[in-house]
């Protein structure tokens, strides 16, 4: 009963016949979740020596020029066998002619910085490449309560969750959720967008497929088997937020060109 909530997830519900009830929620101001447990690692030091941000080492693997682009490929390795928590987000490249180029990563899973110079150049024309911004992932674990009336709850990462519709069938009930990533979501895009995981804590819930809305978006849902659906749903949330900060970390490019 673990659900990955992403507004662009594709999925379909095998909606069986025999739906006897369906109701839309009443929109009300977002309620703040009750945080029962939060784990936040120490923020990364953006001015660390070497190719290190916090507990994360940036290891360049290739520096190439292709189709007018300069590409720096790299790996992120956690120090001491730990899981890397810091992610470089913005980069600056300086050329031997004094030109400065800036770029940012496409997502927190990206492992390449791509620069697009306006004039023709090669990797030999690069004076330096510097990480100028980073983010640190802070896991969040807490519980929320969702009302069947449809009152929205705003998660720590800015995502809003609410009960969208209840579909009662002969032997089971589907509880469909509405999920929206608001302006407070990290960077307002897929970049550093932590996908929340919702785990129902009430007895009687089972797995179910995603339901496709009229707009074509997937609606996460729970399936309930029992005598009476609870008025409020107790849900455990596993998510993360990203703490962002400036950096001034010149990357050692030895052996990449």
Whether 39 contacts 140, CB under 8 Å: yes
Burial (CB count <10 Å: 0-12, 13-18, 19+), residue 59: middle
Does a structural domain hold residue 47?
Answer: no
At 44 the pLDDT is 41
Does a structural domain hold residue 45?
Answer: no
Percent residues over pLDDT 70 in the chain? 70
Does a structural domain hold residue 128?
Answer: yes
CA 110 to chain centre: 13
At 215 the pLDDT is 55
- Band (pLDDT 50/70/90 cuts) for residue 193 is low
Which residue's entry shows tokens 């069986």? 16
Same domain for 236 and 142, yes or no, is yes
Same domain for 114 and 225, yes or no, is no
Does a structural domain hold residue 9?
Answer: yes
CATH of the domain at 130: 2.60.40
Same domain for 59 and 111, yes or no, is yes
Question: pLDDT tens digits, residue range 53-108?
Answer: 888 999 999 999 988 999 999 999 999 988 888 999 999 999 999 999 999 987 78
Among candidate residues 6, 4, 1, 37, the one with its CA nearest the CA of residue 199: 1
Question: Mean pLDDT over residues 160-176, rounded?
Answer: 90
Does a structural domain hold residue 95?
Answer: yes
Does a structural domain hold residue 120?
Answer: yes
At 214 the pLDDT is 58
- Write out the E strands in 45-168: 52-53, 56-66, 69-78, 86-95, 100-104, 112-115, 126-147, 153-154, 159-168
- pLDDT averaged over the chain? 76
Number of domains in the chain: 2
User: Residue 242, CB half-sphere, CA atoms under 13 Å: how many?
Assistant: 25
Does a structural domain hold residue 46?
Answer: no
Same domain for 130 and 146, yes or no, is no
At 216 the pLDDT is 53
Same domain for 132 and 160, yes or no, is no
Same domain for 32 and 156, yes or no, is yes
User: Residue 19, CB half-sphere, CA atoms under 13 Å: how many?
Assistant: 12
pTM comes to: 0.60
Same domain for 144 and 34, yes or no, is yes
Same domain for 123 and 151, yes or no, is no
In this structure, how many other beta carbons lie within 10 angstroms of the beta carbon of residue 191?
19
Same domain for 167 and 235, yes or no, is yes
Domain of residue 228, residue span: 3-39+138-242
Question: pLDDT tens digits, residue range 19-63?
Answer: 333 333 333 333 344 443 333 333 344 444 469 988 899 999 999
Does a structural domain hold residue 233?
Answer: yes
Same domain for 26 and 64, yes or no, is no
Percent residues over pLDDT 90 in the chain? 39
Question: Mean pLDDT over residues 199-217, rounded?
Answer: 72
Same domain for 129 and 173, yes or no, is no
Same domain for 128 and 147, yes or no, is no
């Amino acid at each position: 009963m673990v659900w990955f909530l992403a507004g662009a997830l594709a999925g379909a519900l095998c909606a069986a016949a025999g739906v006897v009830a369906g109701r839309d929620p009443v929109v009300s101001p977002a309620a703040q979740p009750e945080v029962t447990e939060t784990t936040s690692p120490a923020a990364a030091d953006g001015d660390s020596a070497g190719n290190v941000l916090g507990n994360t080492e940036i290891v360049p693997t290739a520096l190439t020029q292709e189709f007018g682009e300069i590409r720096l490929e790299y790996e992120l390795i956690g120090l001491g066998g730990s899981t890397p928590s810091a992610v470089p987000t913005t980069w600056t490249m300086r050329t031997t002619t004094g030109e400065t180029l800036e770029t940012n990563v496409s997502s927190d899973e990206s492992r390449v910085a791509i620069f697009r110079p306006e004039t023709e150049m090669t990797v030999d024309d690069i004076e330096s490449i510097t990480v100028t911004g980073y983010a640190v992932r802070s896991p969040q674990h807490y519980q929320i309560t969702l009302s069947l009336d449809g009152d929205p709850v705003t998660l720590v990462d800015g995502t809003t969750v609410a009960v969208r519709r209840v579909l009662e069938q002969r032997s089971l009930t589907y509880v469909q959720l509405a999920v929206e990533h608001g302006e407070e979501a990290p960077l307002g895009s897929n970049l550093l967008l932590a996908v929340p995981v919702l785990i129902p804590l009430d007895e009687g819930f089972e797995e179910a497929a995603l339901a496709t809305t009229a707009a074509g978006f997937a609606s996460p849902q729970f399936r309930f088997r029992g005598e009476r659906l609870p008025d409020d749903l107790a849900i455990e949330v596993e998510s993360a937020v990203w703490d962002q900060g400036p950096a001034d970390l010149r990357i050692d490019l030895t052996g990449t060109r």
